[in-house]
Amino acid sequence: MYLDKMNNITLNIAITGEGGSGKSTLVNALRGIKNGTEGAAPTGVVETTMKPTDYPYPNKNIRIWDLPGIGTPNFTADKYLEYVGFEKYDFFIIVSCDRFRENDAKLAKEIQKMKKKFYFVRSKIDHNIQDEKEEDPNFNEEDFLKRIRDKCIEELQKLGIESPKVFLVSGKKCHLYEFKDLRKTVLEDLPKHQRDVLLLALPNISLEAIKQKKETLGSKIKWYIVASVAAAAVPIPGLSVSVDLSMIVGFAIQCVISLGLTPGLLQKLSDVTGVSLEDLKAELKSPLAGVTITDALVLQMLTRSAAFIAVTTLEEGARLVPVIGTVVAISLSGVTTDRALQYILNILAEDTQRVFIKALGLNTPV
């Protein structure tokens, strides 16, 4: 079944580069976690990663790997690739906090030989901007960022890398600079199924990212309808409603995880932004957001909808009519499932927008 196949898609992301370059901070940023909090990759001014360490997303099939820094006494370039098991990763992000060096180019060339994608990230860009502002009263951020990007590209080209993709990011301010461009490029380069899985796992960095998540989740609804119709075709009273509720609950759970509305993910957003959890929760209107979702909770929410009750009652009643009743029941089952899933997705997406605006202190209305 398509839905089962989607749940089994795996993705392994490698974050590498020289020691102390900000790899672990980027790992945390890609997972929406603040440095030093529960579940975060350890960070420090010296190399803190001694072996390949994987960190899962809420979707357990996606893992982001914090690799040891190359070029340190512990991990020289000639032994590094074999040690970290490069062949198992789907794509690579090579991180530097100042300039890209020969070791970075060596990594990129080996990745090219494996015909896999890689991206260069110039990290800690917020620190560079702050330092430059203090020294130059006529500071222009756009010109400054262009000079850094051009310099990075020039360095990599001299090291033999043609048309390198370089992104300037701050692991502590993902909504700024070129994190969104990195996100967009990576997603465009992935096969569709992996792209959808990663898109739903990445933290919300813009209202556009939330919109894309909503569209991706919405595209899955047709497959839930197919499953609902299949269950409705079985002439067993109550089976269709039972199956529909199970799928609706599963979809609701996927939505709150993907949109960042579980209690744990809201706490992580609070940690990253400094906005209190209570203030974030005050933006929630759906009874499914910020809580543990159960069958009873979903059923309680749906039974408040007169339209849902009416369609469900008609579906079960139709089964009492021989032959034609089953056809009607199948049609009504699809309608019921579609309405329920669309309703859940819409209210949760609206909650996500409000929470995001509150977290970043934006003035944009939903």
pLDDT tens digits along 68-116: 877 666 666 667 777 888 889 999 999 999 889 888 898 888 888 888 9
As a whole number of angstroms, the distance between CA 277 and CA 332 comes to: 41
pLDDT tens digits along 27-67: 999 999 999 999 898 886 555 567 889 998 888 889 999 98
Collapsing DSSP states into helix, strand and coil, what is residue 291? coil
Mean pLDDT of 181-198: 95
Strands 62-66 and 11-17: parallel
What does the block give as tokens for 27? 């790992």
**CA count, 13 A, side-chain hemisphere, 307:** 7
pLDDT tens digits along 227-274: 776 655 444 444 345 557 888 899 999 999 999 999 999 999 999 999
How far is C-alpha 98 from the chain's CA centre?
Answer: 27
State the sign of the Cα–Cα–Cα–Cα dihedral 291, 296, 300, 306.
Answer: positive
What does the block give as tokens for 59? 């979707």
One-letter amino acid of 168: L
Instruction: Break the chain down into helix, strand, coil percent, rounded to 5.
Output: 55, 10, 35
C-alpha distances in angstroms, 3 versus 227, 247, 251, 346? 9, 10, 11, 21
Contact of 121 with 26, CB cutoff 8 Å: yes
Helix (H) or strand (E) holding 62: strand 62-66
